[in-house]
Structure 1
């Protein structure tokens, strides 16, 4: 799965990488973002691939009520079941990418996971890459405010991630520049699932940190 990743890049870096413009500000740029804080991050949507906008992590389907996230975890969506599940099936062809420096995962060192080793993972030789996402534009029924909400799409783990994420053996779909364009172009989901897509990932052991609070917004150029 993928519940923590780094957004420690500047708006200028994202604009250059995606050949896009930052249209909206107000997202968090920190080294370790905790999904269970339901933060807002930079995303690029298929309907506007030259615009960097703000999306709320945790997809809200159109029928969701305001307390949806208290009852349901939609931080991640399994690529194998997106077309079948009620929360996701209407977002099959609503694609987005989420800029990332790296993501974090823990390796269980005992049978119950009481002892773990933390790793920092990214695509080899890339300072920035994309996590594949699906989104929905959700309107708050009370306020009428519209939010861009998204889930990170996951697939079966490749060889490296099977060793690291050894309890669940899942990983986010990681896209280089060419592949993120194909993702936004609505190519079939199966094209991006492992082993059809096997990104060259590298991992280093990371220090354990306390990353359970939100941090100041510093997405400056």
Structure 2
């Protein structure tokens, strides 16, 4: 799974890389360590507005039908194999987004119960900036009327490298290869085309 990431690239560089403009520069998140359970507003690009880098989408998807915002603790990730089955995602398969990042973190268990772990930081082989495949939705608080925008990072079966690193789960987020961002945003392309082993990310992990 993916619960820890970094987005440490400056706003100007991110804008140039994705050929898009940040909607609210004061809210642009730049951090060496982002914890999913803090539900930060990580910058994303939606397929609805591909020229805008949005700063108003929080990590941890809250479906439009959810009773309350606490649902988000269950939806930091979306398993690609069950997107079309799970109630949280089956109606938003066309709501695709790019989750902007510079790396992510996983731990290798060194014993059976995970009491001893080795931390790894995983990077894209080709760039300091990349995007995860993501899904997004909006939820309205029935009491305040406030609209809450959120997203999930899509995960797939781990490749050989990540099976070694993430040995207790065998999963990995879908790190899009450079040049494949528009293909993911196009919902006419089946999500299955981005699952491992059909889709193989160019990533590398280092002990930290």
* TM-score normalized with structure 1 length: 0.89
1: distance between equivalents of 2:141 and 2:13? 32
Counterpart in the other structure of 1:202? 204
**TM-superposition CA deviations, 1:122-156 (whole Å, max 9, x none):** 11021100011000022222222222210000000
Structure 2 match to 1:218: none
- Corresponding residue for 2:9? 9
Residue 69 of structure 1: aligned partner = 71
| 1:83 to partner: Cα distance | 0.6
Instruction: Name segments (4+ residues, structure 1) moved above 6 Å.
Output: none
1:180 deviates by 1.1
Structure 2 residue aligned with 1:48: 49
Judge conservation of contact 2:8–2:102 (CA < 8 Å) in 1: yes
Q: CA deviation at 1:89?
A: 0.9
SS class of match (2:192): helix
Cα deviation code 1:83-108 (max 9, x no counterpart): 10111111111000111100000000
Match of 2:183 in 1: 182
What is the CA–CA distance in structure 2 between the aligned matches of 1:56 and 1:62, rounded to whole Å?
14
Write out per-residue CA displacement over residues 28-54 of structure 1, whole angstroms, 9 at most, x where no aligned residue.
311110001111110000000010002
Q: Please name the residue that 1:153 is paired with.
A: 154
Give how far 1:67 is off: 4.0
CA separation in 2, counterparts of 1:168 and 1:41? 24
